[in-house]
A and B are shown apart, each in its own frame.
Chain A
Amino acid sequence: MYIKLVSSDGHEFIVKREHALTLGTRKAMLRGPEIPSCVLSKACTYFTYKFCYTNSSTVIPEFPIAPETALELLMTVTFLDP
């Protein structure tokens, strides 16, 4: 099962439903703020990263975030998941 998240600049991100529901995304889908694609794409990558490495015995790799994206991403996530 997949859901579609759309960024403010029209990028569509199709992610697995079970991955995305970890992060207030339900809220975002209903009446969410406009999220730019650079931020939304990073969030989607994080969903998969989290799903993959939670409760796994392999070494968890680093998840790099560029500083320019990080602040906006932090604000977005804090808004969605206070």
Chain B
Amino acid sequence: MASFPPRVNEKEIVRSRTIGELLAPAAPFDKKCGRENWTVAFAPDGSYFAWSQGHRTVKLVPWSQCLKNFLLHGTKNITNSSSLRLSRQNSDGGQKNKPREHIIDCGDIVWSLAFGSSVPEKQSRCVNIEWHRFRFGQDQLLLATGLNNGRIKIWDVYTGKLLLNLVDHTEVVRDLTFAPDGSLILVSASRDKTLRVWDLKDDGNMMKVLRGHQNWVYSCAFSPDSSMLCSVGASKAVFLWNMDKYTMIRKLEGHHHDVVACDFSPDGALLATASYDTRVYIWDPHNGDILMEFGHLFPPPTPIFAGGANDRWVRSVSFSHDGLHVASLADDKMVRFWRIDEDYPVQVAPLSNGLCCAFSTDGSVLAAGTHDGSVYFWATPRQVPSLQHLCRMSIRRVMPTQEVQELPIPSKVLEFLSYRI
């Protein structure tokens, strides 16, 4: 079974440049499971990188120092030795929010991570909750961790302290995402078939339960304008929710197996979903049309084969910040970088047992987490976007497809704006 379409010569595809790796420290005991790195995340302002190191711990590293370390010490970087060097270098004190490494013991297997930061104008509240002091200051940066037992713990990134413990899910919290508008609204997706909406500014009050999934919910993502939420799950589910009224907008049909990851493009005009049916689909979330299909197995599997154990499950998908590239991880030990206008990858990189991936905040690096708790980093394919594409993104950030269709412009420009070219 081939990994690329027949007309593509696999040897001609460019290999991505490795930037570095963060290897998990040796486990104190030999255990078959519990080491997995199910999730990686970058802080919205690019200051921190976090990943679940396995064995119930999450590691937070200041990102720019981490990058510098990769450049100074070559590509291999064992986390234990690096932390000593970093803390000694930063011994000149006085800075208020000097970024520091933290290892957080969450007390249970960590399945999901998300960074959230408050927009300064929207907050100013000082709340004491039982044994935690919870205050939103200017530079509040939070890390939410979703655990095996259904709990969500909220940590302060700068101090590493626990701020809140959200208890309501009855099963694994498989994904977490903050609304991008800085309102500190958190959505959690769980194997208990629900999604829950939490207001962290209101003591972590749970505002809403989104019901509709018939099976495990694997992932969720907000649209960049925070108006829509996509949730994906087992039994081919891809749902879109209106986040002003918390109602379901539509179900997107097309996948043949569990859908396990989703991500919006930076202008909200495109939605990427990854499934165990070996495919990534690029949808128009405003009308449910499938615009592109990125296959990982050739010839493409029949629905029955796609719906089972086909050894080519796609585990993760992520949109780059330039709105032109998508990265996917599949079980054939490869990371693929795609352009949204080509149906074969423009770059690939080898990766065994990859489980999750995320682009850095500035889009220049892709991080991928693996089964043994490690993280690998590559330079992403970057080029100056065309002026037409930059205009398209600017327009689509404020205009859904239906409005675009009404514009008095030539059909060629209309097709381009609707991402149909």
Q: A59-B364, A67-B397, A78-B413 are in contact. Are A49 and B391 (CB under 8 A)?
A: no
Bound complex: CA A50 to CA B413 (Å): 22
The answer to whether B388 and A67 have CB atoms under 8 Å apart is no
Q: A67-B397, A71-B395 are in contact. Are A77 and B388 (CB under 8 A)?
A: yes
User: Which one of B383, B390, B417 contacts A63 once the chains associate, using CB atoms below 8 Å?
Assistant: B390
**How many Å from the CB of B409 to the closest CB on chain A?**
7
Chain A residues in 8 Å Cβ range of B416: 74, 78
Chain A residues in 8 Å Cβ range of B417: 74
The answer to whether B364 and A75 have CB atoms under 8 Å apart is no
**How many Å from the CB of A14 to the closest CB on chain B?**
19
The answer to whether A43 and B387 have CB atoms under 8 Å apart is yes
Secondary structure class of chain B's binding surface, majority of residues: loop
Bound complex: CA A49 to CA B409 (Å): 27
Number of A-B contacts defined by CB within 8 Å: 59
**How many Å from the CB of A30 to the closest CB on chain B?**
20
Chain B residues in 8 Å Cβ range of A63: 385, 390
Chain A residues in 8 Å Cβ range of B392: 70, 74
A23 CB-CB contact with B under 8 Å: yes
Q: A65-B394, A67-B398, A70-B394 are in contact. Are A75 and B409 (CB under 8 A)?
A: yes
User: Which one of A53, A54, A64, A73 contacts B387 once the chains associate, using CB atoms below 8 Å?
Assistant: A73
User: Which one of B384, B390, B397, B412 contacts A78 once the chains associate, using CB atoms below 8 Å?
Assistant: B412
The answer to whether B362 and A67 have CB atoms under 8 Å apart is no
B208 CB-CB contact with A under 8 Å: no
Chain B residues in 8 Å Cβ range of A50: 384, 387
Chain B residues in 8 Å Cβ range of A66: 394
B76 CB-CB contact with A under 8 Å: no
Bound complex: CA A73 to CA B388 (Å): 8
B382 CB-CB contact with A under 8 Å: yes
The answer to whether A74 and B364 have CB atoms under 8 Å apart is no
Q: When each residue 51-64 of chain A gets 1 if its CB lies under 8 Å from chain B and 0 otherwise, what string results?
A: 00110000110011
A13 CB-CB contact with B under 8 Å: no
User: Which one of A49, A59, A60, A75 contacts B413 once the chains associate, using CB atoms below 8 Å?
Assistant: A75
The answer to whether A71 and B384 have CB atoms under 8 Å apart is no
Q: When each residue 153-166 of chain B gets 1 if its CB lies under 8 Å from chain A and 0 otherwise, what string results?
A: 00000000000000
Chain A residues in 8 Å Cβ range of B398: 67
B407 CB-CB contact with A under 8 Å: yes
Chain A residues in 8 Å Cβ range of B322: 60
**How many Å from the CB of A41 to the closest CB on chain B?**
13
The answer to whether B387 and A46 have CB atoms under 8 Å apart is yes
**How many Å from the CB of A8 to the closest CB on chain B?**
19
Bound complex: CA A23 to CA B390 (Å): 14
Chain A residues in 8 Å Cβ range of B409: 71, 75
The answer to whether A74 and B384 have CB atoms under 8 Å apart is no
Bound complex: CA A61 to CA B407 (Å): 30
Q: A59-B362, A63-B390, A75-B413 are in contact. Are A70 and B395 (CB under 8 A)?
A: yes
The answer to whether B390 and A54 have CB atoms under 8 Å apart is no
Chain A residues in 8 Å Cβ range of B382: 59-60
Chain A residues in 8 Å Cβ range of B410: 78
Bound complex: CA A9 to CA B271 (Å): 41
* Chain B 364-394 interface residues, beta-carbon cutoff 8 Å to A: 364, 382-385, 387-388, 390-392, 394
Cross-chain pairs A/B with CB under 8 angstroms, 19 sampled: A46-B387, A50-B384, A54-B383, A63-B385, A66-B394, A70-B390, A70-B391, A70-B392, A71-B407, A73-B391, A74-B388, A74-B391, A74-B392, A74-B395, A75-B409, A75-B413, A77-B391, A78-B413, A78-B416
Chain B residues near A (Cβ < 8 Å): 322, 362, 364, 382-385, 387-388, 390-392, 394-395, 397-399, 407, 409-410, 412-413, 416-417
Closest 9 CB pairs between A and B? A74-B391, A70-B394, A70-B391, A65-B394, A59-B364, A50-B384, A70-B395, A67-B398, A46-B387
- In addition to A43-B387, A46-B390, A59-B382, 13 A-B residue pairs with Cβ atoms within 8 Å of each other are A46-B387, A50-B384, A53-B384, A60-B322, A60-B364, A66-B394, A67-B394, A67-B399, A70-B390, A70-B391, A73-B387, A75-B413, A78-B410
